[in-house]
Each structure stands twice: as C-alpha cells, then as structure tokens.
Amino acid sequence: MLLRQLRVHHSLGRRFISNSSYDLAISELNKEMKSIFGEPPDGFSSSASQESHFIPTGSGESHQGLSHVDGSGQARMVDVSSKEDSKRVAVAACKVLLGQKAFHLVASNQVAKGDVLNVAKIAGINGAKQTSSLIPLCHNISLTHIRVDLALNEKDFSVEIEGEAATTGKTGVEMEAMTAVAVAGLTVYDMCKAASKDISITEIHLERKTGGKSGDWSRR
C-alpha cells in the first residue's frame, strides 16, 4: 500500500512534496520492505543521503583538495600570481611495448618512416612545449630545459622513454614531463604501426619532482 502511494506521489512530481515528507515516506517504505525482505532494498535512501558530498571551503578549493575545481564545483585555472618563483624539475616515464617484429625493425633502423628513436625524441620535446595548448587548465610555462631519452629493452621488446622538464617559475612542470613522454610514445606507435598494430603505450607516470610549495617527491 505504501509503495503504491509513493508511486502516485512520484508521478505527480517531487515538486509537490516537501523534502521532509519525501524523507518520511522513504523511511516508512524502507521499514515495510525490511519487514518483508529482511533489509532495505538497494537504491532507496532519503534525499539527504543523496546530496552531493562536495563541500566548498572558504579558500575556493574543494574539500578533496582539487585545485582546478572552485567552491561551486566548476573547473577553473588556478591563480598562481601570489606564489614565489622557484626552480622546478619533473621527470616522467613510459614504456612502449613493440613486439618482436617491430622491435627488431627499430633496433636495425629499418622502419620505412625513418629513424624512430630520433623522430620520437624531437616529437617529445615539441610536445612538452605545447602542453598548455593540449591540457586546457595548464599554465603556459616558460621552460628552461627539456630532455627526452629513449632506450631499447630487448627483454620485453620495448622502448623505454624518460622525459624531464625544468623551469624557474610559480608552478610545476609535471604535466610537461608527462606530455613529453606521452607524445614520444605516440610517435613511436605512428612510426611503427605499419609493421604491427599490436603496440601498447603503457605506464605513463611521474617519477619524481622537485621545487614548489609541496616540496620534493619521488615514486621510489
């Protein structure tokens, strides 16, 4: 009976029911269903429990500490004007699993498109410089150094890529380092895809960073 009443109320629209009345109806329904099934059914809860857990703070940052989200949950570009300039360095890495056939073509420099490792190296450097154009909320950083190294690993027929970015400024260069290795990895794929489609770009991650308010960090 109560379930039928609740359906009628819902069909009329929740705008005709106060939050307290709706919560009471849900609570009574849970009790009735518990008496039948032994526990409240999944998916039924009061409107209070369905509210967002996002809690704005006075600083304008979300309770979870996501700096690119403001107090109302909207995306924003962080204002770093009040930060002090400092030297910042970030190192990232990734791995491209080529497979045996493509690996030997790269190792012997017989890929039809040319020297895979050198082209990917230049692509990674260029990618780091374009990070703010690719990632919408990244700042346009004046980079002082970019390094991209690629090495062949015969054990798993892969190309291991490491990228480093550096600046002296108000925000970090983690995204620049990771963009460098990601673009280098994509370039390896593009250069080798005629030989094999079964190539995977894996393990894109930050290895370490220095500088900034949060200080130094290392994965190892």
Please compute Rg for the chain using Cα positions. Answer: 27
- The amino acid that residue 18 corresponds to is S
Q: Residue 190 catalytic?
A: yes
Which pair of tokens denotes residue 94? 């990734």
Which pair of tokens denotes residue 135? 């990632």
Nearest to 108 by CA among 98, 122, 94, 93: 98
Q: Which of 23, 70, 149, 190 is catalytic?
A: 190
60 backbone φψ class: left, alpha, beta (φ>0; ψ -120 to 50): left
Query: By CB neighbour count within 10 A (0-12 exposed, 13-18 middle, 19+ buried), where does 112 fall?
Result: exposed
Between CA 101 and CA 108 the distance in angstroms is 11
Which pair of tokens denotes residue 64? 């979870």
Return the active site residues: 190
